[in-house]
Amino acid sequence: MGIKEEVYFEGAPHVGDLIINILLGFTVICLPLTVGAIVRALWLRYRITDRRISVTGGWMGRDRSDIIYSEVVKVVKVPRGLGIWGDMVVTLRDGSRLELRAVPRFREVYDYINERISTKGRKVSETV
C-alpha cells in the first residue's frame, strides 16, 4: 500500500481568467487568448500535495506532469487579474520549466510550495 498524500490544493484555473479572456475575445485580435482560456478552463487541473505538484492538461486532459519538491530549484509567481489569481513558473534541476497559469490563491500555493523546496531554492525564489 502506498503512502497517503495530503492534498493542499486541487482545482482548475481561476474562473476570472476565463471571463476576462472571453470579454477580450470580442476584439478579433484576442481570439487566440480566448481559445486558450477556454481550453485551460475545460481540461487544465492542478493538484498540489505534500509530496508533489501534478498538472493535468493538454487536449482533452491527456497530458500529465508530476514533479517532486526535491527537483525544484526555483519558483516564481506573477500576479494577474488585479492580484486575485496568478501565474507560477517552477524551474527544475535539469533546467526545464513547468508553468502553472491562472492559479487561484496563488500566493498561498506559492508559500506552500516554497516551504517544501530546498533552502537554496527558497533563497533563489525569494530574490526574484
pLDDT in tens, 75-117: 999 999 888 999 999 999 999 999 999 999 999 999 999 999 9
Q: Residue 41: which residues within 8 A CB-CB, separation 6 or more?
A: 12, 13, 15, 17, 18
Q: What is the pTM of this model?
A: 0.86
In a domain, 87, yes or no: yes
- State the pairing for strand pair 63-68/52-57: antiparallel
In a domain, 73, yes or no: yes
In a domain, 102, yes or no: yes
CATH number of the domain within which 107 lies: 2.30.29.30
Give me the pLDDT at residue 61, please: 80
State which residues form the domain around 90. 7-127
Give me the pLDDT at residue 6, please: 95
Query: Per-residue pLDDT for 66 more than 80?
Result: yes
- The count of structural domains within the chain is 1
Copy the grid coordinates of residue 86: 496568478
Query: Per-residue pLDDT for 58 more than 90?
Result: no
In a domain, 77, yes or no: yes
Specify the residue for cell string 526574484: 128
How far is the CA of 127 from the CAs of 53, 75, 108, 121, in angstroms? Answer: 22, 10, 18, 10
Copy the grid coordinates of residue 96: 526545464
Give me the pLDDT at residue 118, please: 82
Please report the DSSP string for 14-43 in residue order: PHHHHHHHHHHTTSGGGHHHHHHHHHHHHH
Give me the pLDDT at residue 1, please: 52
In a domain, 17, yes or no: yes
In a domain, 2, yes or no: no
